[in-house]
Amino acid sequence: MRIGQIYRPGNFGLSIEIFPPKTTDGDEALWDNIGRLARFRPAFISCTYGAGGSTRHRTVELCQELQKRFQVAATAHFTCLGGTLDELREWLQFARASGISNIMALRGDAPAGQQEFRQIDGGLRYANELVELIREEFPEFGIGVAGYPEKHPEASCLDTDLENLKRKVDAGGQAVFTQLFFVNDSFLRFRDRCDRAGIEVPIVPGIMPILSFAQIRRITSMCGAHLPATLAERLEAVQDDKDAQFEVGVEFAIEQCRGLIDEGVPGMHFYVLNRSQACETILDALNYSPASL
């Protein structure tokens, strides 16, 4: 199913995001974890795209395998760092020929060791340009774009960040998938700002279940998401107990998801870090089924 068809009235779109493992053992563990999540019948599973395009073909190959093994639609992440304009077209042709129907169109983060994003000679600089390329030359793809409830780290202010998002949607983005957040009011204010700006596509909250205090501190420091002090204190108090950290993180995510569902979100996009247990526990606690929300 294409992204533009998922979030119709009365339909709740569950989606899951994974990343390409680096080893054969990692691949097998991934398939095992996805197998456990497949019972929830997600609308799609997305696969990330390595910094600087380092996994450009592997991303598509994993998406192919996802669709073959689990009969679930796959969404391939794709960034402006994929190469020159001709190389971007070549990758999109490869994805299309591989049976991929959705693209998550992103500017991309600078590769490790590079302090800022640098446009490739002959390539694209902004995500809205990539969205426009896909819409105009590969219109059969569904297109998702990224949004930041608490502002992209590189944006000068919330208004500038929202203007950038509107350009992506106006260029052809069919749904906005947000960066992780832990304060629902931040998402709700972001959704209201999008509405006032004339962004009329679905705004899908991104949820990352916390697995460890150290890990989430590192992730939030990179993406700029706010970790509430009360939650940080609870995690810090059990930071030497892996199981207790998991319990705190999952308990928080369950309540966060309940609050978002009560606010009428069109779906939820889970960043599962290639592990199923937390997401399974959350969805079971919500009594989730594709027809239940």
Strands (E) across 23-92 are located at 44-47, 74-79
- Coil, helix or strand at residue 260: helix
Q: What is the pLDDT of residue 225?
A: 94
Q: How far apart are CA 23 and CA 49, in angstroms?
A: 16
Q: Within 10 A of 38 (CB to CB), how many other CB atoms are there?
A: 17
Q: At residue 293, does pLDDT exceed 90?
A: no
Q: How many CB atoms lie within 10 A of CB 192?
A: 11
Predicted pLDDT at 192: 98
pTM flag (> 0.85):
yes
Cα 136 → chain centroid: 23
Mean pLDDT of 247-273: 97
> Rounded distance, CA 105 to CA 79, Å?
6
Average pLDDT over residues 27-54: 89
Predicted local confidence at residue 121, as pLDDT: 80
Q: For all residues of the chain together, what is the average pLDDT?
A: 93
pLDDT single digits (tens) 103-132: 999 988 766 556 566 677 888 989 999 999
* Model confidence pLDDT, tens digit, residues 70-82: 999 999 999 988 7
The DSSP bridge partners found for residue 203 are: 176
Q: What is the mean pLDDT of residues 177-202?
A: 97
**pLDDT (mean) for 140-150:** 97
Distance in angstroms between the alpha carbons of the first and the last residue of the chain: 19
Residues noted as catalytic? 17
- Model pLDDT for residues 84-104, shown as the tens digit of each residue: 999 999 999 999 999 999 999
Which residue segments constitute the domains of the chain, with CATH numbers given?
3-285 (3.20.20.220)
Residue 117: the pLDDT is 62
CB 76 within 8 A of CB 65: no
Average pLDDT over residues 203-229: 95
Model confidence at 177: pLDDT above 70: yes
